[in-house]
Chains A and B, each alone.
Chain A
């Protein structure tokens, strides 16, 4: 698990996050808002455990769901581990339509008012955050095994540090932070596992470990999970949208755009990019205007999905998972 989370850390670009700080704060607030509301309503309706199982997957992607499922399996509740993975699979069905709807509304308004024509791309700014001091290693030495070894070393340091705190700070949280730091100083490669060609294999190996929990899932159990699954996802997506809208109003962002950013937590990258491209394409604009409108919405959608799926949800899951069965 620490390998997967360290790899998530290598995907985080501090420059991109700093540049889009309003989007980052909007995304963070939306998942905290969602977690608080879902916890209070869900606990009253379905009980505390069922609600805590739902919050990490709704707030992020596969890694947060895996952390939750792992905790459930370790506590001997393999059916609940399956439920956590079920949230991960089904949440897109709720998040994508809502996000697309608001994004389309925003694009229609931008095209009607011509706001996209005056948009100046800020991506060519100089990089503010640069602490890289290690020289890149020569390609002939940088073999897939070496990339994986470096990831494992960082994961191992995270495990040791977590042990020093008596596991009060979860190893996954330290792994994520170390993943970011070691990438920024140049020790780890960006998107290490993909670069080494091990991403598919590692995810497959982890899924193979989790798949055993599905054998404990009977049809009766699955049917009994449907109500919390649908209700908590509906409340979760509504609260993600509402939370992002509130923050959007505070930051004087267009509320439609802010509302589209909230549900990005349910699908993340690359779907945030695909949806942005699809909707902007649907506006039927000339090539130049298409590019301008796309650069207006896509970085925000991608950063929002990224902040929630790759950063915040892992933190949230790492802290919530040990509390679920306490």
Chain B
């Protein structure tokens, strides 16, 4: 299952979607924390 790149893409998009939803609930706090941690 893991050898298919398209499976990785599906998981990545789902994670990004969860990020979208979380961001909406926390009004951007999560993406702010992510950017802060990256910096």
Contacts and interface: CB of A to CB of B under 8 A. Distances in A.
**A and B pair up:** yes
A146 B17 contact: yes
A2 B10 CA distance: 12
Nearest to B4: A159
**Which of B6, B9, B17 neighbours the largest number of chain A CB atoms within 10 Å of its CB?**
B6
A3 to B, nearest CB: 7
A15 interface: no
Nearest to B10: A152
A149 B10 contact: yes
Contacts of B24: 140
B13 interface: yes
A154 to B, nearest CB: 9
Do most interface residues of chain B lie in helix, strand or loop, or is the interface mixed?
helix
Contacts of B16: 145, 149
Interface string A1-24: 011000000000000000000000
B30 to A, nearest CB: 14
A149 B17 contact: yes
B5 to A, nearest CB: 9
B14 interface: yes
Interface string B1-39: 100101101100110110111001000000000000000
Contacts of A152: 6-7, 9-10, 13
A145 B4 contact: no
A152 B13 CA distance: 8
Interface in A145-163: 145-146, 148-149, 152-153, 155-156, 159-160
Interface residues of A, number: 15
A133 interface: no
Contacts of B13: 145-146, 148-149, 152
B11 to A, nearest CB: 8
Interface in A136-186: 140-141, 143, 145-146, 148-149, 152-153, 155-156, 159-160
B22 to A, nearest CB: 12
Contact of B17 (A2, A143, A159): A143
Given A145-B16, A148-B13, A149-B14, A2 B6 contact: yes
A152 B7 CA distance: 7
Contacts of B21: 141, 143
A3 B24 CA distance: 27
B17 to A, nearest CB: 4
Contacts of B10: 149, 152-153, 155-156
B31 to A, nearest CB: 13
A146 B10 CA distance: 9
A3 B20 contact: no
A141 B14 CA distance: 12
A155 B17 contact: no
Nearest to A6: B6
A140 B25 CA distance: 11
A134 to B, nearest CB: 17
Given A3-B6, A145-B20, 9 more contacts: A146-B13, A146-B17, A149-B16, A152-B7, A152-B10, A156-B7, A159-B6, A160-B1, A160-B4
Interface of A: 2-3, 140-141, 143, 145-146, 148-149, 152-153, 155-156, 159-160
